[in-house]
Structure 1
Amino acid sequence: MLRRTILKVGAAMALVTSLATVASAELSGPVNYVIPFGPGGESDISARMQQPFFKEKFGQDLVVSYQPGGGGAVGWASLNGLSSDGQTIMGVNLPHIVIKPAQKDVGFKTEDLNIFHMFHFTPDAIVVTADSPYQTLEDLVADAKANPGQVTISGSGKASANHLAQIKFDKMTGAMTTYVPFKGTGAAVTALLGKQVKAEWGYTTVGAAQGDAVRMLAVAMEERHPLFPDVPTFKELGYDMVGGAYRGIALPNTASDETTKMWSDMISAVNADEAFRQKMLDAGFALLDVDAAGMDAFMAERKEEYLKDAREAGLIK
Structure 2
Amino acid sequence: MHFTRRTILGGLAGLALAAAGAGSALAFPDKAVEYIIPFGPGGESDISARLQQPYFQEKFGQDLVISYKPGGGGAVGWSQLNSYAGDGYTVMGVNLPHIVIQPATKDVGYTTDGLTPIYWFHYTPDAIVVPADSQFKTLQDLIDYAKENPGKLTLSGSGKGTANHLASIRFDELAGIKSTYVAFKGTGAAVTALLGNQVMAEWGYTTVGAKQGDKVRMLAVAMDERHPLFPDVPTFQELGFDMVGGAYRGVAVPESTPEELREQWSDMIGEINADEKFQKQMIDGGFALIDVPYGEMDAFMMERKAQYLEAAKAAGIIK
* Shorter-chain TM-score range: over 0.9
- Asked if 2 retains the 8 angstrom alpha-carbon contact of 1:150 and 1:178, the reply is yes
Structure number with the higher helix fraction is 1
- Asked if 2 retains the 8 angstrom alpha-carbon contact of 1:127 and 1:201, the reply is yes
Shift of 1:83: 1.3
Shift of 1:20: 4.5
Number of the residue aligned with 1:184: 186
Summarize deviations over 1:251-301 as a string: whole Å, max 9, x none: 000001111111111111101111111111111111100110000010000
Number of the residue aligned with 1:130: 132
1:160 aligns with 2:168: no
CA distance, structure 2, for counterparts of residue 136 and residue 194 of structure 1: 21
CA distance, structure 1, for counterparts of residue 87 and residue 169 of structure 2: 41
Which SS does the other structure have where 1:181 is aligned? strand
Shift of 1:312: 1.6
Which SS does the other structure have where 1:111 is aligned? coil
Number of the residue aligned with 1:52: 54
**1:255-270 correspondence runs (5 A):** 255-270=257-272
CA distance, structure 2, for counterparts of residue 54 and residue 84 of structure 1: 19
From 3, 6, 12, give the equivalent of 1:19.
Answer: 12
Shift of 1:194: 1.0
- Asked if 2 retains the 8 angstrom alpha-carbon contact of 1:80 and 1:254, the reply is yes
Which SS does the other structure have where 1:263 is aligned? helix
- Asked if 1 retains the 8 angstrom alpha-carbon contact of 2:29 and 2:60, the reply is no
CA distance, structure 2, for counterparts of residue 86 and residue 129 of structure 1: 45
1:74 aligns with 2:67: no
CA distance, structure 1, for counterparts of residue 27 and residue 287 of structure 2: 33
Shift of 1:313: 1.6
From 112, 115, 131, give the equivalent of 1:113.
Answer: 115
From 117, 139, 142, give the equivalent of 2:141.
Answer: 139
- Asked if 1 retains the 8 angstrom alpha-carbon contact of 2:13 and 2:28, the reply is no
1:227 aligns with 2:229: yes
CA distance, structure 1, for counterparts of residue 56 and residue 185 of structure 2: 31
Number of the residue aligned with 1:288: 290
Q: What code does the residue aligned with 1:108 have? A: Y
Length, aligned pairs only: 304
CA distance, structure 2, for counterparts of residue 177 and residue 155 of structure 1: 12
CA distance, structure 2, for counterparts of residue 21 and residue 193 of structure 1: 52
Which SS does the other structure have where 2:27 is aligned? helix
Which SS does the other structure have where 2:42 is aligned? coil
Shift of 1:26: 2.2
Number of the residue aligned with 1:6: none
From 243, 250, 253, give the equivalent of 1:248.
Answer: 250
From 151, 155, 158, give the equivalent of 2:153.
Answer: 151
- Asked if 2 retains the 8 angstrom alpha-carbon contact of 1:150 and 1:177, the reply is yes
Shift of 1:52: 0.6
Q: What code does the residue aligned with 2:127 have? A: A
Which SS does the other structure have where 2:260 is aligned? helix
Segments of structure 2 that go 5 or more residues without pairing to the other structure are: 1-6, 17-25
**1:99-110 correspondence runs (5 A):** 99-110=101-112
CA distance, structure 1, for counterparts of residue 161 and residue 310 of structure 2: 12
CA distance, structure 1, for counterparts of residue 199 and residue 314 of structure 2: 25
- Asked if 2 retains the 8 angstrom alpha-carbon contact of 1:28 and 1:87, the reply is no
Report runs of 4+ in structure 1 exceeding 3 Å deviation.
Answer: 20-24
Number of the residue aligned with 2:172: 170
From 207, 215, 223, give the equivalent of 2:209.
Answer: 207
Q: What code does the residue aligned with 1:315 have? A: I
Summarize deviations over 1:227-247 as a string: whole Å, max 9, x none: 100000011111111110011
CA distance, structure 2, for counterparts of residue 79 and residue 169 of structure 1: 34
CA distance, structure 2, for counterparts of residue 185 and residue 145 of structure 1: 27
Which SS does the other structure have where 1:290 is aligned? strand
CA distance, structure 2, for counterparts of residue 63 and residue 261 of structure 1: 21
Which SS does the other structure have where 1:148 is aligned? coil
User: Taking structure 2 as the reference length, what is the TM-score of the superposition?
Assistant: 0.93
- Asked if 2 retains the 8 angstrom alpha-carbon contact of 1:155 and 1:200, the reply is yes
CA distance, structure 2, for counterparts of residue 140 and residue 203 of structure 1: 17
Matched residues, percent identical?
66
Shift of 1:88: 0.6
Which SS does the other structure have where 1:179 is aligned? strand
- Asked if 2 retains the 8 angstrom alpha-carbon contact of 1:91 and 1:248, the reply is yes
